Amino acid sequence: MKEYDIVVLGGGPGGYVAAIKAAQLGAKTALIEKEKVGGVCLNIGCIPTKTLLRSAKVYEDLMNSEKFGIDILDKSSVKINWPNMQKRKDGIVSRLTGGVKILLKQNGVDVYDGFGEVVDKNTIKVNDETIKTKNLIVATGSSAAIPKTPGLTEAFENGYAITSTEALSLDKVPKDFIVIGGGVVGVEFAALYNALGSNVTILQRSQILRTLDKDVRETLEKILKNKGINLVYGVDIERYENNNIICKVNGEAKTFSADKILISMGRTPNLKGIEKLNLDIQKGAIVTDEGLRTNIPGVYAIGDVNGKYMLAHVASAEGIIAVENIMGKNEKINYDKVPSCIYTFPEVGVVGLTEEEAIKRGHKVKTSLFPMTANGKAMAEGDTDGFVKIVADEKYGEVLGVHIIASHATDMIAEAVTTMELEGTVYDLAKAVHPHPTLSEVVMEAAHGAIDKPIHIFRK
């Protein structure tokens, strides 16, 4: 029977990062994964979605080429080669997951292919083998949440209803595409298939992306509508009849139909196989402290399974902190400084408190919003939708939150994360010399606006 210092259950972006870090710090480490290393993110989530979104953006740009001074005489000759898009996506996924396998091997991590069943906190059964461990990191991820709406099971069985997994590998681009749910995943798929030419409708009980800052949410709603995405609010779904959705919209009976219906109503932590641990479970997720410890000594839970932030980069950060704490440190994660990204056209990148949250927490807030329309690089690229909004504490100028809509918002937000991690202020951001011409200059301009006035727009 093999014995380890640390066993990681689950090989997603939290689990494999934790395993590599543990091995780097000298711990004898094993990783157990029942499917493919890389988890949802690398295989059926972040990476394949963004790969297809890039293809869709290229197609969208080609169809609007005249604004760049490029004439395509016959736009109907520009065709989507869906099989080749899929092939490109699969190739990138294969390279990345293959790279992770090599890294695990190079770092000396023992990888077990199979379903890990926890016997107790120090014993795990996988396939026909039993292994022992001093410490256990649970990183079992999550699965798509499926409501118990009448007719939905049959709609899945007949291929009309799909989850995000199936939405990545459809046999063709659907003519009509409906998204049930207005969260990040649903909105990204809406943007993807809208850019590829589908008639897209989002059905949502209330507003989309409710956790975003009000200015960001309202602006993105407007952009999505301008791109032809139909946003329907006040929806109460009664039943599914194959590709038909029978519902009420603000009390009025309605029926919506589509070739494919994406059910995107959140995700549920995977708890199968760890029942014998008697972990503290609340709202379907494992309860952890800021150091990722559970109520069982020597057992940690990271990633989607703890229900904090279902984001790959958060899982990775949690994995490193959990390992460092096992190895004797006392590290904590600050979820207020965790960035979130939405890969629509344009993108959204946010970190920290919204204006509403900051006020609710008792801060005397000062905000500054600078539009992309006043930025030279944005104009040159033909992507002037959006802005940078900074939420700062009025007394000292500490940056409490940054909210960006821009073509490269998901890259730009890293500057804000670093500033907040260093407890930086708007004075620091304004003083930092930003290269020209870049979109990042908008962050500097917004910082100047929080102090006094921005340079490149007139404000009385």
Residue in this structure with the two tokens 């029977």, named with its chain if needed: 1
Q: How crowded is residue 435: how many other Cβ atoms within 10 Å of its Cβ? A: 8
Are residues 306 and 288 in contact, defined by beta-carbon separation less than 8 angstroms? Answer: yes
Angstrom CA distances, 89 to 55, 144, 172, 188, 197, stand at 9, 21, 15, 16, 19
Residue 389 is encoded by which pair of tokens? 């909004």
Are residues 169 and 49 in contact, defined by beta-carbon separation less than 8 angstroms? Answer: no
**Distance between CA atoms of residues 207 and 205, nearest Å:** 7
Amino acid making up residue 131: I
**Distance between CA atoms of residues 183 and 259, nearest Å:** 21
Residue in this structure with the two tokens 């990633």, named with its chain if needed: 303
The verdict on whether 436 is a catalytic residue reads: yes
**Active-site residue among 313, 403, 408, 436?**
436
The residue length of the chain stands at 460
Amino acid making up residue 276: K
- DSSP letters, 48-86, are HHHHHHHHHHHHHHHHTGGGGT---S-GGG----HHHHH
**Distance between CA atoms of residues 215 and 237, nearest Å:** 29
Residues that are catalytic? 436
